[in-house]
Chains A and B, each alone.
Chain A
Amino acid sequence: MPELRESLNQDQLRAVLAAAGASGSWDWDIVGERLYVDYRFAELYALPGDDLSAGFETSAFFRAIHPEDRPRIRIAVAGMLAGAALFSKEFRVISPSGAVLWMHGRGQSHLDEDDQPVRFTGLLVDVTERKRTEERLRIAQSAGGVGTFEYSDGFATVSVSSEFCRLLGLHPADRLPVRTINAVLCEGEPLLIPEGSQAAPPDSLGGEFQVCRGEDRERRWIARRGEVLRDADGSGYRLLGVIYDVTYAKLQEAALRDLNDTLEHRVAMEVAERRQAEEALRQAQKMEAVGQLTGGIAHDFNNLLTIIMGSVDMAIRRTESSADPRIRRALDNAMKGAERAAALTHRLLAFSRRQPLDPRAVNVPELLAGMSDLLLRTITEAIAITVDASDEIWTIEADPHQLENALLNLAVNARDAMPEGGALRITARNRSLSDTAAASPTDPGGEIPAGDYVAIDVVDTGTGMDETTLGQVFDPFFTTKEVGKGTGLGLSMVYGFAKQSGGGIQIASRPGAGTCVSLYLPRSIAEAEQSSDQLIASAEMGSPSETILVVEDDDDVRAYTVGALRDLGYGVIEAHDGASALGMLARHEQPIRLLMTDVVMPRMSGSELAFLARERQAGLAVLFTSGYTRDAIMHGGRLDEGVELLPKPFTMKNLASKVRELLDR
């Protein structure tokens, strides 16, 4: 009112308005149809400022407003003039300098006794900066997925941002009813916004809520943060806050919690697994120790047997036919006993896997017939054994001792699968595979390349195995037997042998229906060696010009070997270790045709000696003798090219033919 303005000092008014951040104030006299403004308003609107108390035409109110905003503001003012209580609008004003400023106009109507509006007063506040900030904030909020809300207690609706609606899967709106918002909460969740008569204001706005989004019913986690603003008089409060999606973090958290919850169980599993591995390792170590031990025993034993057999051999040959036949019989018995002892050490070596493969042409029916004795002793009487191999069976290429060993292993497994008794059948048949037999889940034996094979089936009527067990049977250390009872090496050794021999293995089994293991061994192009005794042909004799260097650390074995070779007519020089052997090689005038050396010797091994000797004398033939062999001369279980091995114990006949064969190459 003019009176008010006159009573207030202009400077004082200015100070008050400036302090309030106002850019101008107005007082619209509705009845008198005049607009009174302060000097700031006049300046902003470029109204003549010389006599403000006279007022202006009311249309002046709209003059500086941006044309695009003018209709909107006219409508709002019309509402005020007709009795609306509050005016709160943002609009652009074009200043005299041409700058566009955002103004927030806030006003109220003053009613007379009859509720008729008589005055409309208000303030203009420059919000240009705020508008920019708001824009930045809006971008930040939508980019950051942050939705805002403001709630005055007691109201049924909440003022929200569009991002707020989006986060909850609701139709975008400026205001949402409290119940609409709370309706997206999953059952049992606390209220996102307090409802109705829930009088007490929340202590804080922190919290996380599980919601079932409005549009797609997707379950999400929403975090709420913000402030509780209490009215000055303490009667009410406002909630000003934000929400954002924390589903990902929640899922991570849940996964972590789950991880923690199952930790104990997983540790127990790990420990059990580890214990099992340790047990397996212990078993392996035991096997290794037993292997070492048996290997060592076998080595010494073979040396002794070489002497015994050599000596008996020599005695037999020196015994005249006219002599007492009882002497001859006794010597034959001694020889047989020694041979059996040799077979036993051989088996010990196979058991300790220190047996090199010595593939030969093998007559399978003959081999199986030879094993029947052993099988009968190994397998209990409750189990009926059938061996079926026709004479049509092809000769195969395999190490006969290892094959025996493999079959024995399979037979023992079959026996153990039939604790209540049953039937064990071993059959051999010819098989031509035109295609590679592929591996299958039920047959873990793996591929067998196309070709001609003799398949030896070992079939039992025992407990059988399920698929899981079947998948593991070839794993080293896998055993269905109690720890300590089986080596866990049986089937893996059989498998390794079959593969090594160029064949393969197939296994078929079902729980309760027995097991059939088929060993595939490749057909040999050569005919089987005659195992029957033959007289040493004269061609196998040597001449004194053929000098052989014998290196052997065991004096008795060396004496026997040297004697035998001399008997065969060879020129022989001898050494007890590698170093002296090399010295002789250098000093000897006549060329040495063959180096025959023990493999295992102190200081310098046989293979080292062979290597050095061949450096000095290229092409020198080398024959190793050994009670057992090590990797020094074996690669992948087979002997190196150009290296021959004469396993101990050897008979004179074996010695003669092997030496002759080498020298004649």
Chain B
Amino acid sequence: MSVSVMIVDDSKLARIVAAKALGQLQPDWQKVEAGSAAQALELLETEKVDVALVDFNMSEKNGLELAAELRAMRPDMPIAIITANIQDEIISQAREVGAAFIAKPVTSEALSGFVSGAALKLRTAKA
């Protein structure tokens, strides 16, 4: 069964870039996109989501808040915060909600650690 990844970013370009980087690592994974935290929460109702890539810098609700809510709903889901805001403070906040931190711009190299970790986690969860 294929893995489904939700990419949450208010920038379409950022979603394209992230999807592309992800596609290079895991061509078979399904991708669903959300342009805001609210959209992400809706998607979660209707779609199967195994992994979440969440942009930090979004209007209304920022990525860390969304990640915290996701974590509350899905304690085992691999979540990564994606942002160019590489402040130590943000990184530690990401850790607090149990999310990985990936600096923008997203490259497949930067993503590879998180993706392979997530793949392993999903396999072991199924097993």
Contact = CB atoms under 8 A, between A and B. Distances in A.
Interface of A: 113-115
A113 B109 contact: yes
B75 to A, nearest CB: 27
B83 to A, nearest CB: 14
A83 to B, nearest CB: 10
Q: What is the predominant secondary structure among interface residues of chain B facing chain A?
A: helix
B103 A115 contact: yes
A113 B109 CA distance: 7
Contacts of B109: 113
Contacts, number: 5
B110 interface: yes
Interface of B: 103, 109-110
A113 B111 CA distance: 11
5 contacts: A113-B109, A113-B110, A114-B103, A114-B110, A115-B103
A82 to B, nearest CB: 12
Contacts of A115: 103
A114 B109 CA distance: 9
B85 to A, nearest CB: 14
A114 B112 CA distance: 11
Top 5 nearest A-B pairs (CB, nearest first) are A113-B109, A115-B103, A114-B110, A113-B110, A114-B103
B116 to A, nearest CB: 14
A114 B110 CA distance: 7
A114 B102 CA distance: 9
B113 to A, nearest CB: 9
Contacts of B103: 114-115
A114 B100 CA distance: 13
Contacts of A113: 109-110
A423 B103 CA distance: 114
A665 to B, nearest CB: 130
A391 to B, nearest CB: 123
Contacts of A114: 103, 110
Nearest to A115: B103
Nearest to A113: B109
A406 to B, nearest CB: 109
A114 B103 CA distance: 8
A113 B103 CA distance: 11
A114 B114 CA distance: 13
B58 to A, nearest CB: 23
Contacts of B110: 113-114
A114 B113 CA distance: 11
A111 to B, nearest CB: 12
B114 to A, nearest CB: 12
A115 B110 CA distance: 10
A115 B103 CA distance: 10
A484 to B, nearest CB: 100
A115 B109 CA distance: 11
A113 B110 CA distance: 7
Nearest to B112: A113
A115 B91 CA distance: 15
B25 to A, nearest CB: 14
B84 to A, nearest CB: 11
B50 to A, nearest CB: 25
B57 to A, nearest CB: 19
B47 to A, nearest CB: 31
